[in-house]
Chains A and B, each alone.
Chain A
Amino acid sequence: MSVTGPRLQPTLAELSRPGRGGYPVPHPPSDALDRIPAEHRRPAPPGLPELAEPEVVRHFVNLSQLNHAVDTGFYPLGSCTMKYNPKLGEWAARLPGLRPPPPVRAGRGSPRGPSSSSGPSSRPSPRSAAWRRSPSSRRPERRAS
């Protein structure tokens, strides 16, 4: 029995060609890493594949088409049965306001007990947790030059 069908895909490593593609990231200054001691540095970049954007997109789109998924058909598989998720959820999960940085708040415990033992200068305040937009909060000010 064949498990892969006719659309077997090469791997990223097989598609890679030295000097090809690479995402256009702004180049940092050439001395950016000079302050990091040599013993901590990686001698050469990691062996990641080198591909152009359309190759990456085609690779993963082609791979996706090898799947049976809840969006392509009934998925009645044992303990991992998939239920259809309304697309509204995918939309909502991508609202920028629902993707803020993690909360900054006191931990629930430390090895030496609850935080209440600390002095007033370091007492954590749960109110510092969220950056909800309150009526009094102002837009960022820029320095007046």
Chain B
Amino acid sequence: MGYAPHTHDDRRRMLEALGIESVDALFADIPPELRSSPLRLSPPLPEQSVAARLERLAARNRTDLASFLGAGAYRHWTPPLVDQILLRGEWYTAYTPYQPEVSQGTLQSIYEFQSLIAELTGLDVVSASHYDGAAATAEAALMACRASGRDRILVSRAVHPQYRETLRTYAAGAGVAVDEVPVVGEGPAAGTTDRTALERALADSARPPAGLIAAQPNFFGLLEPMAELGAAIHAAGGLFVAVVEPVSLAVLAPPGAYGADIAAGEGQPLGIPLSYGGPYLGLLACTNALVRQIPGRLVGQTTDLDGRRAFVMTLRAREQDIRRERAASNICTNQALLALAAAVYLAALGPHGLRDVAAGSAARAAALERALTEVGVERLFPGPYFDEFVVRVPEAPAVHRRLLDHGVLAGLPLALVEPDDPLLADGLLVCATEVTTDEEIELFAWALGEVLGAAAPRRQPTTAGAGGGR
């Protein structure tokens, strides 16, 4: 089965119409030395052989693990209707529907997506999506800089480390300084943004901050005093950016309620598979006051010449295809098909279904905490959490590897992502959601008890070596 429709005769007639002898003649203007050498590809395989090969490759990945990994991407049940809608070929359009006459389906689906995320976040304006949560967060920082005319961003170290890495990359190109606000090391607020340190950072009058980025729940799963953080940055004349997890917004106070000017987040939990880290869905929302600063497509409702409702892209002067140098962003590629997945997911679950998913996740996480406590593994930070928390596990990276042999994907050892932070050296970030079963929790707790029990004395480096050397 070929993918190109032209027959030999079709090509001959097209060449005749053009008055040339061969397809190569189309490239005659390119000097021969600049042309690529012939591609050395292996011969094509029949589709069934390709399929069999892909199945063999896929089978080499383990799908049998009891997973407690969250850290920014979360397992949830996706109603099968979501994927059935996504499989309809009518959605395979350009992500930017420049011609509304032939794109009302995509335009309305984006409008629906924007409306649903606006309900979740409690904010007025939602973009048509970005690459992922990290990209949306970095864009939020640049929005704050443009809106305030300042060039310094404060970000809590309780924001996902990979988001902060993306933020630094964007900031370096934009000439923006990124200052990190540490987390509290001990006491009841341990693991949350250090407000004393924040006050010090805000007091630097030589370079006032454009904004503060904090996450709710934060990277360690903890709930931050968002209203207080927002009040502090507002008092310093900056904007407040909340990094949010959308399923949690069914039960947690929305950014619009605690004074956030911008919300950014990862939309993957809304019906999008984990897929080894992507493609995912960047969410970005803001107050109406910032509508001219938000990057990406915005779809609005209007009326056509016959007075009927129609959907079109709007406020286009923000965009790079209109004003390249002064655009709100030069990355307007988005994830329209995954935004559609999120819209279908939210429409399918509805307000009560999503609330049950969120509350169910919180309940399973509490069950996980109880089970781990029973084998002597305690939380590292005592504050309230949603569906994810950090436990103290000496030699966490080695223990994590050994638990894979027991069929458990034991979350994320924080030493892997924050190797220089002694506070986090023994931290293991674990998560449970509504799909986490009693059996998985039981297996994790038992296996962790086994591994830690066998590791005594726990601090010996040889223990780590044995764990990694299978």
Which A residues form the contact surface with B (CB < 8 A)? 1-5, 8-9, 11-13, 21-29, 32-33, 35-37, 39-42, 45-51, 53, 56-57, 59-61, 63-72, 75, 77-82, 84-86, 88, 90-113, 115, 117-125, 127-128, 130-134, 136-143
Residue B349 at the chain A interface, CB threshold 8 Å: yes
When chains A and B are docked, how far (Å) is the Cα of A107 from the Cα of B134? 14
The number of chain B residues with a CB under 8 A from chain A is 136
When chains A and B are docked, how far (Å) is the Cα of A2 from the Cα of B442? 61
Residue B346 at the chain A interface, CB threshold 8 Å: yes
Stretch at the interface among B115-123, B137-145, B197-205, B284-292: B115-123
Contact with A along B363-396 (1 / 0, CB 8 A): 1001000000000000000001010000000110
Residue B310 at the chain A interface, CB threshold 8 Å: yes
Majority-rule SS of A interface residues: loop
The answer to whether A110 and B419 touch (CB under 8 A), given A12-B116, A65-B105, A88-B50, is yes
Interfacial residues of chain B within 176-193, with CB under 8 A of chain A in the complex: 180
The answer to whether A45 and B352 touch (CB under 8 A), given A4-B304, A122-B419, is yes
The answer to whether A110 and B89 touch (CB under 8 A), given A80-B95, A125-B468, is no
Contact B464 A121 (CB under 8 A): yes
Contact A140 B58 (CB under 8 A): no
Stretch at the interface among B8-16, B24-32, B96-104, B232-240: B96-104
When chains A and B are docked, how far (Å) is the Cα of A47 from the Cα of B208? 37
When chains A and B are docked, how far (Å) is the Cα of A134 from the Cα of B168? 37
A118: chain B residues within 8 A (beta carbon): 415, 419-420
When chains A and B are docked, how far (Å) is the Cα of A137 from the Cα of B446? 18
B168: chain A residues within 8 A (beta carbon): 111
Interfacial residues of chain B within 415-434, with CB under 8 A of chain A in the complex: 415-420, 425, 434
Contact A94 B90 (CB under 8 A): no
B85 contact from A50, A60, A141, Cβ within 8 A: A60
Give the shortest distance, in Å, between B260 (CB) and chain A (any CB): 14
When chains A and B are docked, how far (Å) is the Cα of A8 from the Cα of B442? 52
Residue B344 at the chain A interface, CB threshold 8 Å: yes
Closest to B440 in A: A140
A68 contact from B85, B93, B120, B439, Cβ within 8 A: B93
When chains A and B are docked, how far (Å) is the Cα of A38 from the Cα of B101? 48
A25: chain B residues within 8 A (beta carbon): 77, 349, 353, 356-357, 360, 434
